[in-house]
């Protein structure tokens, strides 16, 4: 894996996402071809519909055997629900740090936890350079 690659940017993961998305294309293509075959009475269109349907099933089975189908379904649902994935946004990290700083001086204060959140913010800023403008007051 190259340094600029992330877990979601590897060729294998991109192939999984392509196969997952192509299942929807093959489904609608099979549906369209089946409707066309019924309307025109064309055996050629019916064969195309069967081929597209078989490609959709093959993609489904391939994803299920590799254990990626549920993961892709969850990611798609999260995308439409607007929930965050694995990575917290900058606002969530900053609010966590502010909450920890408010506890400073109390018996339950953990300075190492504050340092861990600061490192997470630093890592986030390195991976999302466009976010630095928000902290500098440019946006």
- Do 11 and 71 share a domain, yes or no? yes
pTM of the model: 0.55
Q: What is the mean pLDDT of residues 52-63?
A: 96
* pLDDT at residue 81 tops 80: no
Would you call 2 helix, strand, or coil by DSSP? coil
How many whole angstroms separate alpha carbon 58 and alpha carbon 21? Answer: 13
- Do 12 and 71 share a domain, yes or no? yes
Q: Where residue 86 falls among pLDDT bands split at 50, 70, 90? A: very low
- Do 36 and 14 share a domain, yes or no? yes
85 Cα distance to chain centroid = 7
In the block, which residue shows the tokens 């740090």?
97
- Do 12 and 60 share a domain, yes or no? yes
Q: What is the pLDDT of residues 99-129, one digit of tens each?
A: 888 888 888 888 888 898 899 888 888 877 7
Q: Which domain holds residue 105?
A: 90-136
How many whole angstroms separate alpha carbon 51 and alpha carbon 45? Answer: 10
């Amino acid at each position: 894996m190259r340094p600029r690659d992330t877990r979601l940017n590897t060729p294998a993961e991109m192939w999984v996402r392509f196969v997952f998305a192509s299942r929807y294309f093959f489904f609608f293509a099979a549906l369209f071809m089946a409707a066309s075959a019924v309307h025109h009475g064309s055996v050629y269109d019916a064969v195309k519909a069967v081929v597209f349907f078989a490609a959709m099933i093959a993609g489904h089975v391939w994803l299920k055997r590799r254990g990626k189908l549920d993961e892709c379904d969850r990611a798609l649902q999260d995308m439409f629900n607007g929930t965050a994935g694995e990575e917290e946004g900058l606002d969530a990290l900053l609010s966590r740090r502010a909450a920890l700083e408010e506890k400073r001086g109390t018996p339950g204060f953990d300075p190492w936890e504050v340092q861990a959140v600061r490192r997470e913010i630093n890592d986030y800023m390195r991976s999302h350079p466009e976010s630095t403008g928000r902290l500098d007051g440019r946006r």
